[in-house]
Amino acid sequence: MPDIRLENVTKIYKSQTERRRRETAVQDASLTVEQGEFVFVIGSSGSGKSTLLGLMSGLVRPTRGTVRLGDKDLSMLKLVSKNKVSMCFGYVPQEMSLMRKRTVAENLELAVRVRGFGDKHTREARIKKVLGLVGLPGAEKKYPVELSTGEGRRVELARAIINSPPILVLDELTANLDDDSIWDIFHLLNDINNRGTTVIMATHASRYVNIMRRRVLTMVDGRIHADVRGGKYGDVAGPGRGPSKPI
């Protein structure tokens, strides 16, 4: 199972409003995420969390530095290999990304089909199973507009895990959800992680980060300000175990 390795990675965007302006979203980030880790990425809005997640999953091309998944350099891949690599990731973006004119089952089926999974019966069974896992049994025929925000996010999580990828990357999955829903989702992610899946999650849910005591990466102004294993929200050094990397 592949590790993710970032070496001196910088991402600079061109400003969308002023042609000449450049925005350094992530600066000189180096880190390794080993298979099976659970990593929270925290930091204020605009600190570079989403960009870091995009870089780690090969969706954002670095301006400088390298991103590796196992022995593959993600920025050097040709399309076929890129598609193969994307199969390693289950990704939930910050914004709702379900197709509005498709039912829940259709949204999920498209994700399964990309992997070419079996016949209709097998696909339906998989969809049923994954909807049960995220606490939405029987939601197949609903349209996204008929779902609450929390239910919509659960369907997106279902879509991300339906092909059992080795790595899950989740951007603010629990934003705007009620406590019960957040708690359910963290439980589920904990179970998934205990079965060996890497979970990388940008979040503001400080209470839950503090309960889970996993690796916590803190972003400040595009830099990795702290990287603490067994950490809490706002920690810059670990509880006796020290930072996983000097800051």
> Any contact of residue 16 with ligand ADP (CB under 6 A)?
yes
> Any contact of residue 45 with ligand ADP (CB under 6 A)?
yes
Smallest gap from residue 201 Cβ to ligand ADP (A): 12
Instruction: Report the distance separating Cα 160 and Cα 151, nearest Å.
Output: 14
Q: How many CB atoms lie within 10 A of CB 135?
A: 17
> Any contact of residue 25 with ligand ADP (CB under 6 A)?
yes
Burial of 141-151, coded b for 16+ CB within 10 Å and e otherwise, reads ebebeebeebb
Smallest gap from residue 13 Cβ to ligand ADP (A): 3
Smallest gap from residue 195 Cβ to ligand ADP (A): 28
For residues 93 and 166, which CB has a smaller minimum distance to ligand ADP in the complex? 93
Smallest gap from residue 50 Cβ to ligand ADP (A): 3
Give the position of tokens 């199973």.
129
For residues 30 and 163, which CB has a smaller minimum distance to ligand ADP in the complex? 30
> Any contact of residue 200 with ligand ADP (CB under 6 A)?
no
> Any contact of residue 203 with ligand ADP (CB under 6 A)?
no
Instruction: Report the distance separating Cα 69 and Cα 58, nearest Å.
Output: 9
For residues 16 and 95, which CB has a smaller minimum distance to ligand ADP in the complex? 16
For residues 48 and 165, which CB has a smaller minimum distance to ligand ADP in the complex? 48
Q: Among residues 43, 58, 90, 238, which is the contact residue for ligand ADP, using CB under 6 A?
A: 43
For residues 134 and 209, which CB has a smaller minimum distance to ligand ADP in the complex? 209
Instruction: Report the distance separating Cα 41 and Cα 201, nearest Å.
Output: 6
Give Cβ neighbours of residue 181 (< 8 Å, ≥ 6 apart).
150, 153, 154, 174
Q: What is the DSSP string of 60-111?
A: S--SEEEEEETTEEGGG--HHHHHHHHTTEEEE-SS----TTS-HHHHHHHH
> Any contact of residue 150 with ligand ADP (CB under 6 A)?
no
Question: Which of 247, 208, 215 minimizes the C-alpha distance to 231?
Answer: 215
What are 204's two structure tokens? 């503001």
For residues 1 and 247, which CB has a smaller minimum distance to ligand ADP in the complex? 247
* Contacts of ligand ADP in 47-86 (CB under 6 A): 47-51
Number of residues that bind ligand ADP (CB under 6 A): 12
Residues that bind ligand ADP (CB under 6 A): 13, 16, 23, 25, 43, 45-51
